[in-house]
Structures are given as C-alpha cells and as structure tokens.
Amino acid sequence: MLLTLEGLDGSGKTTAWEALRDEYPDAVFTREPTDSWYGDAVARSMRDDDADPLAELFLFTADHADHLSRVVRPALADGALVVTDRYTDSRFAYQAASLAESYLAGGRDPLNYIREIHEVFTHPPDATIYLDVDPETAAERAGATNKFERVAYLERVRENYERLVDAEPERFVRVDATRPLPDVIDAVRDHAERLTADR
C-alpha cells in the first residue's frame, strides 16, 4: 500500500511522518524531493528565484521517476507499506502554481498538463492524508525560507490541492492542520491506522 502525506509547507506534515515512522517499523518511509543527485538538482533549482518553471517541473519529475524505480516500486513489489512525505500531488499543486497558463501553448491548464505527464509512468497513491492549513499560518510556521513559502504563492498551491481533493474525494483524508501540532499528529495517526487496517 502506498500512503502519501501532503500539505503546504509548515502544515506539520514532516513531523507527522516522523511520528508514523516510529509506529510502523516495518514500513518503508521515504520523501520527495529525494536525497539522490536528482534531488540535489531540485534543491539547487529551489534556491534559484529565477529558475525556469518548466525546467523546474521536469527536475522534480525526474526525481520522482528515479524515486519510483529505485524505492517505491521495489518496496511495493515486496508487499511493504510505503509512506512518503510528499509525492505526485506536490507537483500537481506547487508546479501548477509556478507555471502560469500563459506559459503553455493553447492556454493549456497547468495542473491537467502536469497530471498528464505523470499518468503515463507513475504509480498512483492508494490513500493521501492532506494536512490542510491556511497560507498565512503555513508561511509563518515555515519561515518563508524559500520561494515556495510565500503567502500569495501558497494561496494558489492550496487552491490546487482543493481541486485535487474535489477530483478524487475517495483518495483523500483531510486533517485540520491549523490545530496544535500534537492534535494534528494524533489525527494523522488515527487515519493511518484506519487506512492501513482497511487493506
């Protein structure tokens, strides 16, 4: 089973992922961007305020392709539970916010375009826990240390996450991440327990 954690920067997602890691010692815990050299390239691009958004999308997507073949698919083939801190939805939400519609020929919708790129090769998540937090709280908690953590940008990212939830309500579980972190972690734990028991 492939369980993904998604949400804005500062939603408590990584802390919740760490809490789950202690609880499921036999599961494979992983994240995107990865720590491979593809992930290093992604990190370089994230530090560059002038990075071309399409080039950046493909760097993130290359990192995902490598993550799939090196970590995710082998673990799933072994029958493992895979829990990943960010996955495809991060690209659909963040890079669709970076790619203005004017960038794509024919006024193509960036989110749909990015989904199409992934559809032909990715492994879709079985379930996704979405840590929902308002952009102001997210930016404040994250400290706006990179270009993706600014309020106006995070507003667009959040709208994209909402589109994804609307399109596949059965896959997503929403957690109110404006609550104190211990409550958020408890909620994530409960959902993970239920979702993994269902399988």
For residues 71 and 65, what is the distance between their CA atoms, to the nearest angstrom?
Answer: 10
Name the minimum Å distance from CB 56 to ligand TMP. 8
- Residue with tokens 């989110």, as numbered in its chain: 111
Nearest-angstrom CA–CA distance, 84 and 125 = 10
The structure tokens 């840590």 sit at: 131
Which of 17, 113, 148, 161 lies at the binding interface for ligand TMP (CB under 6 A)? 148
User: Total residues at the site for ligand TMP (CB under 6 A)?
Assistant: 14
Does residue 32 interact with ligand TMP by CB under 6 A? yes
Residue 153 in contact with ligand TMP, rule: CB under 6 A: no
Is 82:72 a contact under the CB 8 Å cutoff?
Answer: yes
Instruction: Give 119: exposed, middle or buried? Use CB within 10 Å, 0-12, 13-18, 19+.
Output: exposed
Decide if residue 67 touches ligand TMP (CB under 6 A). no
Give the whole-angstrom CA distance, residue 4 versus residue 13. 10
Asked if 86 is part of the footprint of ligand TMP (rule: CB under 6 A), the reply reads yes
Binding flags for ligand TMP, 12-31, as an x/- string (CB under 6 A) = --x-----------------
Is 90 one of the binding residues for ligand TMP (CB under 6 A)?
A: yes
Distance, in Å, from the CA atom of 35 to the CA atom of 30, rounded to the nearest integer, reads 10
150 or 179: CB nearest ligand TMP: 150
Summarize as ranges the residues that interact with ligand TMP (CB under 6 A). 9, 14, 32-33, 46, 60, 85-86, 90-91, 94-95, 146, 148
